[in-house]
Chains A and B, each alone.
Chain A
Amino acid sequence: DAGVIQSPRHEVTEMGQEVTLRCKPISGHNSLFWYRQTMMRGLELLIYFNNNVPIDDSGMPEDRFSAKMPNASFSTLKIQPSEPRDSAVYFCASRVAGSYEQYFGPGTRLTVT
């Protein structure tokens, strides 16, 4: 079975541009999590969904960040406009209902110049 799939793996963009990160969770998993990892702040939970519904977005840094999950097999994290301080590795993780363990994708390394 395929794991969590993220695209792109690397993204380099200029300040002010829109960035969209994509995630496909493991089939059958009904919870999806977006994390951001930086040297300074470590691993931070941005938002998570249960059954495609956003449950907790308290970790989203500001209004420039938005996330959607239009169906059970796809989610996006959008940054508009992007800023250099958004440079980080963004991870998507998924989990099956009734379980606490999360399975992580390989991440998207975002660089904003």
Chain B
Amino acid sequence: AQSVTQPDIHITVSEGASLELRCNYSYGATPYLFWYVQSPGQGLQLLLKYFSGDTLVQGIKGFEAEFKRSQSSFNLRKPSVHWSDAAEYFCAVAFTGGGNKLTFGTGTQLKVEL
């Protein structure tokens, strides 16, 4: 069965520092990959998505992610974190023939120190 792993439950970074959140998936088919962000008390907001083409994708709020097929990874990055980026981040994956469903990772809680 398809699965998504976010190995880091919590990450703390200083404001202005760079950020990388890890995401790995397992399945043999071509994946469709997503990152969502959830601020406290809010729903999930789509940050970016990868379907095909350029493996480096740009999203909202200055985030980017890189798809690496050889590593089955889709890590999220930001060059300089702002205090308002403190939130929970979810990686999600869908597969052709997967019933149109998204499989979510368990999330990474990001704390930003001022």
Contacts and interface: CB of A to CB of B under 8 A. Distances in A.
Interface string B24-36: 0000000010101
Interface string A82-113: 00000000010101000011111111000000
A31 interface: yes
B53 interface: no
Contacts of B45: 104
Interface in A12-56: 31, 33, 42-43, 45, 48, 50, 55-56
Nearest to A31: B100
Interface residues of A, number: 21
B106 A50 contact: no
Nearest to B45: A104
Contacts of A103: 46
Given A48-B100, A95-B100, A104-B45, 14 more contacts: A33-B101, A42-B106, A43-B90, A43-B104, A45-B101, A48-B101, A55-B99, A56-B101, A93-B44, A100-B32, A101-B49, A102-B102, A105-B43, A106-B42
